[in-house]
Chain A
Amino acid sequence: MPRFLRNLPDPALRLVIVAAVVIGTVVVVYRALPASFRDPDRNIQATIEREAGKPIRYAGATMCATCHEEQAAKKQAGYHRDISCETCHGPGEAHVESPGDVKPPAPRDRRFCPACHAFDPSRPMGFPQINPVTHNPMKACIECHNAHDPKPPTVPGECAACHAEIERTKSLSPHALLTCTTCHEVPEQHKITPRTVDASKPRGREFCGQCHSVESKVTGPPKVDLAEHQVKYVCWQCHYPHMPEVQR
C-alpha cells in the first residue's frame, strides 16, 4: 500500500490525505455518537411509548355505568341504547378521575338534538328526523323525550317522522295527495320497533294498474295498456313511486 501511495502524483496524494481525513472524521464522529443515536429504531420504540402515554379524554362507554347504573339501565332499554353516554355528554375521563370536581354537561338546549335529528336529505332512510323549526317550537326536546329513553310521547302518526326524505320528495310529485298507506300496509309494530317489522310494498304491475291501467275506472292518472307497455319490467323499475316522472 505505501508503495502505491508513493507512486501517486503529488496532487493525488494530497487529495487522498484530505479524503482520508474527511472520511476519518466522519467515522470518528459517527462512532462517538451515543449508540442510541445510531440505532435507527430507537425513535420507533420511544414514539410508541410516547403516543401510548398521551392523555385520554373520553372514558369509554362502559365506564359510566359503574356509577350511573340507573341511567345506564334506562338507556339500555330504549332507542338510544347503542349511543355512548359521551356522545351527548362529552368527554368524561376528567369526571371519572375526580367525580366531585368535574361534571360533564347535560345538554338541555333545543339546539343540541337537531345535530342528529334535524332533517337532512343525506341521512339514511328510516332515521328519525324532524324539522326543528316546526316541531313543537316552544318546547325543549327533553320535555317530551327523555334523552335516555327517547320514546316519543305518542306513536308517530305520520310516516314522515322517520321517512322525511320520502315525504318531502313525494310532496312535490304527482303522488303528493296519496297517503303512504295507499300503497304500503303498515303494521302498528313497525311504528314502535321499526327494524323488527317492515311495512309491505306492492307486488306486481297490477297494483299500479289499479289506477294506471287503461281498464281502470279511476279518473285523473295517466293510463297505460299494461298488456303492451314494457311487459318485462315491474313499474317501479323505471318510475320511482315517490317521484314518478316519466323517464326523460
Chain B
Amino acid sequence: MNRRRFLQQLASWLVSLGGVGAIAGRQSATASVPEHPETKRFGMAIDVDKCIGCARCMEACKTENAVPPEPFFFRTWVERYVIKEDGEAVVSSLGAPTGQHMEVAEEKDRLRSFFVPKLCNQCEHPPCVQVCPVRATFKTPEGVVLVDSTRCIGCRYCIQACPYGARYLHPETKTADKCTFCYQRVTKELLPACVEVCPTQARIFGDTSTPASPLERVRRMNKIHVLKAHLNTDPKVIYANLDGEVR
C-alpha cells in the first residue's frame, strides 16, 4: 500500500468516526435513560390572577431544598408588577434587595398591579442542557431538568444560557443549582413545596401524561402563555392570565 492510499483510508476513517460521533452525541444530548410507557410528564401552571404575593412559596422552597437563605440565591421567587397610568411598568422582587420597594405608586397612578411567581421553567428544549460541557445538567424522563452536583465543574455556562434567570451558583458547593420541581417529592406522589404551601392555588402541579391532570382546567379555561416564547425553549411551566409586561 502506498502513501496516498493510506492517507485516503485514514481520511475516510476520520470522517466516518466524526459522523458517528456527532450522531451518537446528538441522541444522547438529552436524557438517554429509556422511557417507559408509564413515565410521567410533570408540568406546572401559574394563575397570575390568584397570586397574593405572600411569599410562602419562597420560604417553603428554601426550607425544603436547603437553599442558602441570603437574598441572592433563589430557586423560585415572586415579582411584583405595577403598571402606571402612563404605561410604565415598575417591577420589584419580594424578599430580594433589588428593585424598587413596596409602595411604588400612588393609587391614582396605578393602572394594573399583580404578582408573578417565577421559577425554572423546566424547558422541553433547555438551553442550559445544550451548553453544559460535561453533561452535568440533563433532562429526566419526566421532563425535569436536574443538575449532577458531583459532576458539575462550576463553569457557569448554564447560568449564562438560562433566559429566565432561574439558575445560580450555590455558594457552598460551587456548583450550579436550580429548581428541580422538588424531585424528591414529586417522585413520591407529593407536590413540590411551593405548590404545597400556596394558599390560593396560584401554582398548580400535575402529571400531563394522564388525560385528567390538575392542569386540565387551567389549560382549557384560560389563555395560556409561556415566558420568552420567541426563544423556543418550550417551557413546561405555563402561565394563565399573564400580562404582556412580564418578561
Q: B31 to A44, Cβ gap below 8 A? A: yes
Q: Smallest CB-CB separation from A242: which chain B residue?
A: B107
Taken together as a complex, chains A and B put the C-alpha atoms of A19 and B61 apart, in Å, by 54
Does A233 interact with chain B (Cβ within 8 Å)?
Answer: no
Chain B residue contacts of A121, Cβ below 8 A: 82, 107, 110, 113
B80 at the binding interface (Cβ < 8 Å): yes
Name A36-74 residues within 8 Å CB distance of B. 40-41, 43-48, 50-58, 60-61
- Is A41's CB under 8 angstroms from B151's CB? no
Interface pair A56/B64, CB less than 8 Å apart: yes
Give the residue of B51, B52, B191 whose beta carbon is less than 8 angstroms from that of A60.
B191
Tell whether, in the assembled complex, residue A52 and residue B183 are in contact, meaning their CB atoms are under 8 Å apart. Answer: yes
Is A122 touching B53 in the complex (CB atoms < 8 A)? yes
Return B180 CB to nearest CB of chain A, in Å: 6
Contacting A at CB under 8 A, from B159-202, are: 180, 183-185, 187-188, 190-191, 193, 196-201
Given contacts A4-B2, A48-B33, contact A56 B190 (CB under 8 A): yes
Contacts of B114 in A (CB 8 A): 122, 124
**Would you call B55 an interface residue if the criterion is a C-beta within 8 Å of the partner chain's C-beta atoms?**
yes
Residue in B136, B138, B146, B188 whose CB lies within 8 Å of A56: B188
**Contact (A124, B51) CB under 8 Å given A54-B184, A82-B200, A168-B107:** yes
Decide: A116 and B60 in contact? CB cutoff 8 A: no
Q: Which residues of B contact A149 (CB under 8 A)?
A: none
Interface flag for A76 (CB, 8 Å): no
B81 at the interface (CB under 8 A from A): yes
Whether the pair B196, A45 counts as a contact (CB closer than 8 A) is no
- Complex partner residue of A1 from B1, B65, B110, B136, CB under 8 angstroms: B1
- Determine whether the beta carbon of A122 is less than 8 Å from that of B184: no
Interface size, A (range)? 35 or more
Interface 1/0 per residue, B199-241 and A, CB below 8 Å = 1110000000000000000000000000000000000000000
Judging by beta carbons under 8 Å apart, are B200 and A87 in contact?
no
Docked-complex contact B28 and A41, CB < 8 angstroms: yes
Is A211 an interface residue when CB atoms closer than 8 A count as contact? no
CA distance A174 to B42 in the complex (A): 51
A86 lies within 8 A of B184 (CB): no
A51 and B146 contact, CB distance less than 8 A: yes
Q: CB distance B113 to A55 under 8 Å?
A: no
A83 within 8 A of B: yes
Bound-state Cα–Cα, A52 to B187, Å: 7
A116:B33 contact, CB within 8 angstroms: no
Contact with A along B101-120 (1 / 0, CB 8 A): 01000011010011100000
Distance, CA A122 to CA B141, complexed state (A): 38
> CB of A198 within 8 A of chain B?
no
Q: Is the CB of B53 within 8 A of A51?
A: no
The one of B2, B54, B115, B150 that contacts A43, using a Cβ cutoff of 8 Å: B150
Whether A185 is near chain B, meaning CB under 8 Å from some CB there, is no
Given contact pairs A4-B6, A87-B56, A43 touches B201 in the complex (Cβ within 8 A): no
| Interface contact B197-A84, CB-CB below 8 Å | yes
B135/A43 in contact, CB under 8 A? yes
How far is it, in angstroms, between the C-alpha of A172 and the C-alpha of B110 when the chains are bound?
A: 13
Provide the B59-72 mask, 1 if CB < 8 A to any CB of A, else 0.
01001110000000
Chain A residues closer than 8 Å to B2, beta-carbon distance: 4
Asked, given contacts A56-B190, A84-B197, A124-B51, whether A47 binds B146 with beta carbons under 8 Å apart, the answer is yes
Q: How far is the CB of B109 from chain A (nearest CB, A)?
A: 10
Q: How far is the CA of A221 from the CA of B2 in the complex (A)?
A: 105
- Tell me the smallest distance from the CB of A30 to a CB of chain B, in Å: 14
**Given A43-B151, A60-B191, does the pair A48, B146 have CB atoms closer than 8 Å?**
yes
Chain B residue numbers with a CB within 8 Å of A122 are: 53, 80-82, 113-115
- How close is A81's CB to chain B, nearest CB, in angstroms? 11
Distance of A45 Cα from B6 Cα, bound (Å):
42
- Asked if residues A4 and B135 are in contact (CB atoms below 8 Å), the reply is no
Residues of A within 8 A of B136 (CB): 43
A91 near B148 with CB under 8 A, answer no
Does B32 belong to the interface (CB within 8 Å)? yes
Q: A7–B2 Cα gap in the complex (Å)?
A: 10
Shortest Cβ distance from A236 into chain B, in angstroms?
15
> A123 near B: Cβ within 8 Å?
yes
Per CB-CB distance, the 6 closest pairs between chain A and chain B, nearest first, are A47-B148, A54-B184, A122-B113, A87-B197, A116-B54, A51-B183
Besides A7-B3, A51-B180, A115-B54, 13 other CB < 8 A contacts?
A4-B2, A46-B148, A47-B146, A47-B147, A56-B188, A56-B190, A58-B193, A60-B191, A116-B56, A121-B113, A169-B107, A172-B107, A243-B108
